[in-house]
Every structure is written in C-alpha cells, then in structure tokens.
Chain A
Amino acid sequence: EAGVAQSPRYKIIEKRQSVAFWCNPISGHATLYWYQQILGQGPKLLIQFQNNGVVDDSQLPKDRFSAERLKGVDSTLKIQPAKLEDSAVYLCASSFLFGTTSTDTQYFGPGTRLTVL
C-alpha cells in the first residue's frame, strides 16, 4: 500500500514569508498528526486530527501556525509569518484507528525540511 505522502520535500524561505506543507495520509487512516522535528531533537506533536476534527492542538503556536484537514483526508499546515526558529523538518503521520487506543501504530511520511533565512 502507498505510504504517507508529503510535499514539498524541501523549502527555503525568508523570515516573515508564508509557507504551506501538504500531507496525504494512508488511505483509510482516520487519524492524522503533524510533528515538528528541530535538528538534534525528537519529533514534537503540533496537532492531531480525527477525521476532519481537531483532537489536540495544545502545542501549535496558533499566532502563526494553522492546519486544516478538509474532508478528513488530505491536510495542510501553514506558517504565516515564518520565524528563524521555525527551521525544522515537518513530519506528517497517520494511523488507522480512531486514536482512542494507545497501541495504534503511526506511519510517518518523509517530511518537509524547512529552512528560514
């Protein structure tokens, strides 16, 4: 089966510019996650969707970050305006079950490497 798809793979922007990332989860997966992975650190959850609803966005910097998952399939993560500290890899993951089980396996996409100059 096809894995989690993300685009673009790389993006370089100037600070204060806007940027958007796209994710297509594995077909049939109800739960979608966006993570931020700063160099030298593990992934940090930004937002979790259950179908097209937000389950948890407590670690999303809402003054500049936004995300949506229209129709419960694809998702877009946007940063506006970008800051230097937003330089990171943005990972998308999906899981089959509704997210109410702690044993659910998450499948990760290849990520988008963002560099903010």
Chain B
Amino acid sequence: AQSVTQLDSQVPVFEEAPVELRCNYSSSVSVYLFWYVQYPNQGLQLLLKYLSGSTLVKGINGFEAEFNKSQTSFHLRKPSVHISDTAEYFCAVTRSSGAGSYQLTFGKGTKLSVIP
C-alpha cells in the first residue's frame, strides 16, 4: 500500500530565502506524485504533479519538485519565498482502489510560515 511521510510539520523561513519541504513515499508499484497547497480557510489547490518523464517538475507560483526514485522522495522547493506563500502544503500519492479507479493518499501536511 502507498503511504506518504512529510518530515516537517512546520517550517518557518524568512522572506526571500529559499525553502525545501520534504516528502517521502512508500510504494511497491509505480506512483504518481502531487503537491497541493491549502491557504487559510480555503480548499486544496494543485501546485504540481509528477506523472512520468523529466524528474524535475515545475509548478505554479515558482515552485518546483524533484522526483528521486532511489530515495523515494519528492521534495518541494522554491528559491525565494514571499509572504503570500504562507500556507499548508500537502504531498500526495495515487493509489489504486482495486475497483478500477485511483485515489489520492495525503501526507499530514507541512505548515510554511514566511517571516517578514
């Protein structure tokens, strides 16, 4: 069964500094990986996804993530954060429901706080 571990529950970082949010997954089969962002009092919004091909995936708002199969990781990075990036970030992996459809399994989330 697939599972996702987000290693940091909270990450404080100063404005304009780089940030990395860590995500490791476990799966015995090929996976598709996603990062979602949740702003306060809002639903989840897709940042980026890895399906196949290039291991470096670029998403919205200047974020990118690198798929590393040997380390079973999919860490999210941004070279320079803004105050508006303050939010909670969720890593997710697809899993088969066994009924011919696919569902997402989410990590517990990482709260990014950008300090002015």
Q: Interface residues, chain A, CB within 8 Å of chain B?
A: 4, 31, 33, 40-45, 48, 50, 55-56, 91, 93, 98-111
**Can you sample 19 A-B contacts with CB below 8 Å?**
A42-B4, A42-B107, A42-B108, A43-B90, A43-B106, A45-B103, A45-B104, A48-B103, A50-B101, A55-B97, A55-B99, A91-B43, A99-B101, A99-B102, A100-B100, A100-B102, A102-B102, A106-B46, A107-B46
Known: A56-B99, A99-B102. A42 touches B43 (CB 8 A): no
- B17 within 8 Å of A (CB atoms): no
CB <8 Å contact, B101 and A55? yes
In whole angstroms, how far apart are the Cα atoms of A11 and B104 in the complex? 26
For chain B residues 63-101, which have a beta carbon within 8 Å of chain A? 90, 92, 94, 96-97, 99-101
Interface residues of A, dominant DSSP:
loop
Per the CB 8 Å criterion, the residue count for chain B at the interface is 27
CB <8 Å contact, A109 and B43? yes
- B44 within 8 Å of A (CB atoms): yes
In the complex, what residues of A have CB within 8 A of residue B28's CB? none
Q: Which of B90, B92, B99 is most buried by chain A, counting CB atoms within 10 A of its CB? A: B99
CB <8 Å contact, B49 and A102? no
- B54 within 8 Å of A (CB atoms): no
